[in-house]
Amino acid sequence: MRKLFPVLLAAVAIQAQAADLNVTVEVPRLDVAEYHKPYVSTWIEREDGSVVTTLSVWYDTKMKNDEGQKWLKDMRQWWRKVGREGNAPLDAVSGATRGPGSYTLNFSAGKAPLGKLDAGNYKLVVEAAREVGGREVVSVPFQWPASKAGTLSASGKTELGSVSLELAP
Amino acid sequence: MNHLKLAGLALTLLLPLTAEAHRSWLLPTSTVIAKPGAWVSFDAAVSNDIFYTDHRPLPAGQFQVATPDGSAATLENISEGKLRTTFDLALNQEGTYRVFSASNGLTARWEENGQRKSWPPRGVTPTPEAFAKEVPKQADKLTITQSSRRVETFVTVGKPNTAVLKPTKVGLELVPITHPNDLVTGETARFSFLIDGKPAEGVKLEIVPDGQRYRDSQDMINAVTDKKGEVSIAWPKAGRYWLEASYEDDKAPKPATKRSGLYVATLEVLPQ
């Protein structure tokens, strides 16, 4: 009995620290003649609109000389709030654009790019801009730390489908 | 391909500074650029409707560019057409660029035998010698004015900075409190105006949104600067705006008895 106790305590301790935040973004299938995969940025901002961190940026990473970065500014809110500051290295959070489908990104508290999130009210924001298409921003408010496990979601109307946030305390 | 290298402040007065029936402006193709290596083109024209090139071009020689780090830059591919002047600018640095025309000098008006006279004559570059020779020391209704004129716009690559926004302290100028390339609907912008380096109270602003051709009203925003020379602007919608500010007082250096300033900026307001 004495040997079991420390093991049990250790297991509970690990679970409390490994708080997770999983983001699922749906890129909608659109019926257009000329379709380009959208540029999509995902970030967390505080109640006052200031940005905590960028979680992900999908843009055309394959163009030579980083030409694809020209259109990062089309994600207007992200660009103005954090993108143009050029502080955090883009490489760490960027990836290629994705076509229609649902994509889940996993983040852990204490680990980059989420880092340490102080207790408080936040918004997960996703912004999509599509060449010869439109632009849309979807945000999901949430509290941190999550009191219990659960999923919060919101939906775009045009350039984004469902955006959901799964929180594991 | 024409290259025109411009350096230093031109102290020639180019247009008489009565209330201009026509509006001067510079119009950039973009004001927000993601990274260096891009080009921006400009239209420079005098028109009635904003921003339609329906009248005449602004002569190219008056334009200069201030770069984020202060190094020289060349306006390229300059073309003076029938309705507008156009030129290109390579943006090779991060930060804010300022493209402008600025002048400051004396103008005079008087009457001779009931005939109205003005100086300098249109199209002639004024000099102090010519002023001494051509403007009478005494005349009917003689008014000598120290006039300043500035027409400008701003473009930012990457993160905005304020190096080019430092006041010149000459003439009427806008000193941004809100950065001119950081304008969005739903956020009130605040600007301050200086006349020869001092806060200008009572500067009259007239702001007209783009797209004038397709509506019945000017939709003009009128504003006046306060004691600190400051003014707040709320943007009714996204788009480009022509902003003209005019100022007049009698605190002029001799022989001028009046001091006047005319300032024009093209500002782009983005949606949230």
**H or E segment to which residue A163 belongs:** strand A162-168
**pTM of the predicted model, to two decimals?**
0.88
| H/E segment holding residue A9 | helix A4-17
- In a domain, residue B110? The reply is no
Distance from CA of A87 to the nearest CA of B (A): 10
Task: Please indicate, yes or no, if residue A5 is contained in any of the structural domains.
Answer: no
Q: What is the CATH number of the domain that holds B47?
A: 2.60.40.1930
Residue B34 with chain A: CB contacts under 8 Å: 69-73, 79, 84
What confidence tier does B125 reach under pLDDT thresholds 50, 70, 90? confident
* B chain contacts of residue A66, beta-carbon cutoff 8 Å: 35
> How many whole angstroms separate alpha carbon A40 and alpha carbon A27?
9
| B22 compared with B177, residue with greater pLDDT | B177
Residue A91 has pLDDT above 70, yes or no: yes
Considering only CB atoms, B35 lies closest to which of A69, A80, A85, namely A69
Using a CB-CB cut-off of 8 Å, the residues of chain B touching A80 are 182, 184, 270
Q: Is residue A24 part of a domain?
A: no
Q: Which of A137, A142, A155, A79 is nearest to A114 (CA)?
A: A142
pLDDT digits 0-9 by tens, B31-48: 999 999 999 999 999 999
Q: How many domains does the structure of chain A reveal?
A: 1
Whole-number pLDDT of residue A18? 56
pLDDT at B19 over 70: no
What mean pLDDT is predicted for residues B99-125? 90
Interface with chain A: mutation pick from B32, B94, B187, highest number of A CBs within 10 Å = B32
Residue B134 lies in a domain: no
- A123 within some domain: yes
Domain extent at residue B63: 3-105+145-268
A12 found inside a domain: no
A31 lies in a domain?
no
Does residue A108 fall inside a structural domain? yes
- How many domains in chain B? 1
- Domain limits at A147? 36-168
Residue B152 bridge partners (DSSP): B100, B265
Q: What does R_g of chain B's alpha carbons equal in angstroms?
A: 19
Answer yes or no: is pLDDT of B118 > 80.
Answer: yes
Query: Is the ipTM reported for this complex over the cut 0.90?
Result: no
Over the stretch B173-201, which tens digit does the pLDDT of each residue have?
A: 999 999 999 999 999 999 999 999 999 99
Q: What is the dihedral of CA B222, B226, B229, B234, to 10 degrees?
A: -40
pLDDT at B5: 39
Alpha helices by DSSP H, listed for chain B, are: 128-134
Quote the pLDDT of residue A19.
74
CB contact under 8 A, A79 and B38: no
Inter-chain CB proximity A72 and B34 less than 8 Å? yes
Mean pLDDT, rounded, of chain A: 89
What are A124-157's pLDDT values in tens digits? 999 999 999 999 999 999 999 988 889 999 999 9
Whether A73 sits inside 8 A of B34 (CB atoms) is yes
For B269, which residue in chain A has the nearest alpha carbon? A76
**Distance of alpha carbon A98 from its chain centroid, rounded?**
14
Mean pLDDT of B238-266: 96
**Which has the higher per-residue pLDDT, B133 or B152?**
B152
